[in-house]
Amino acid sequence: MSKNTAAITAVGAYVPEDVLTNQMLEKMVDTNDEWITSRTGIKERRILKDPEKGTSYMAIKAAENLIEKSGIDPTEIDLVLLATVTPDLPVAATAVYVATQIGATNAFAYDLQAACSGFLYGMSTAAAYIEAGRYKKVLLIGADKMSSIIDYTDRTTCIIFGDGAGAVLFEPNYEGLGLQDEYLRSDGIGRHSLKIEAGGSLMPPSEVTVAKKLHFVQQDGKTVFKFAVSNMADVSELIMKRNDLTNNDINWLVAHQANQRIVSATANRMKLEDEKVLMNIERYGNTTSATLPLLLSDFEQQFKKGDNIVFATFGGGFTWGSIYLKWAYNS
């Protein structure tokens, strides 16, 4: 029997209907469309406005979209992983609720948190379970309601983030397709450069933390940008060298949609043509854990069996990494 690798066999996605454009932000904070577009590449983002709906709502919708498209029986799913920084509740894992709601009654489930690298880390986790032969079908979801943790009077963060969810199904493959290699990294030096200061065990919620808006995302933009540009490019170049891949061998770059300039810098280091660099940041902004699966969903029809895809991410913590994957089916 040939080696068992973990391949993506289905994709699903969901974004809320409500759109927050740059022009709308101009009326909320001191900014403008030209400034936002030139520095980030973002034109609009989706917002889940209903206060009674959390991250689980979008995760369920993305999973249901995958189930409908693939025709899979949810009871066949062995494991549900949810990458998110915005769980519904602090203790009860959101993935558990999602699994129950989609009918994955034979699966166990848990959340995974690595900021914007969460989905990439989840790919590694899902693949490890598949390659070990423990499970046959692993559903990996990336979902975040970033609007729930953004201060819309802070122009350094409110222009960047949006809400959304995406999902993929991992299954065993015996044709040499699927996940080929990974290089995942982290460094605690970034702990204070991208954070939510209050709400954890170090600074529990209080009247003071709420009054000081310490439950919203805070970002040292210059530091994060500097580390993201160098590290995303470094790991992407390394994964190519380690697998003897040239720019001609790569069909697609699927990079975290944090900033158009960061993605372009990574693509330039890889010497990739623009048409190989997948981008949808202009429509969604940075959806954190959902950016990678949303790219896969938006461009799924262009993928062909055997395509070489390089994934790259950078997130708070700091966390970052790259994965080399061979696409497993003709879309």
The per-residue pLDDT for range 89-121, each reduced to its tens digit, is 999 999 999 999 999 999 999 999 999 999 999
Whole-angstrom Cα distance, residue 123 to residue 243? 18
Domain ranges of the chain: 5-176, 180-327
Residues 6+ apart with CB under 8 A from 17: 46
Banded pLDDT at 310 (limits 50, 70, 90): very high
Residue 303 — very low, low, confident or very high, per pLDDT cuts 50/70/90? very high
Contact 251, 276 (CB under 8 A): yes
Give the residue among 44, 113, 16, 2 at the shortest CA–CA distance from 282: 44
- Binned at pLDDT 50, 70 and 90, residue 136 comes out as very high
pLDDT in tens, 168-184: 999 999 999 999 999 99
Instruction: Say how many C-beta atoms besides its own lie within 10 A of residue 316's C-beta.
Output: 22
Q: Is the pLDDT of residue 17 over 70?
A: yes
Share the mean pLDDT of the chain. Answer: 97
CA distance 109 to 97: 9
Q: Does residue 298 carry a pLDDT above 70?
A: yes
pLDDT at 69: 97
How do strand 108-112 and strand 79-83 relate by DSSP bridges? parallel
Superfamily name with CATH number, domain 5-176: Thiolase/Chalcone synthase (3.40.47.10)
Confidence check: pLDDT of 219 > 60: yes
Predicted TM-score (pTM) of the model is 0.97
Q: In CATH terms, are 5-176 and 180-327 the same topology?
A: yes
pLDDT in tens, 187-210: 999 999 999 999 999 999 999 999
Q: Tell me the fold of 180-327.
A: Peroxisomal Thiolase; Chain A, domain 1 (3.40.47)
Give me the mean pLDDT over the 4-28 stretch.
97
For the annotated catalytic residues, the residue numbers are: 116, 256, 286
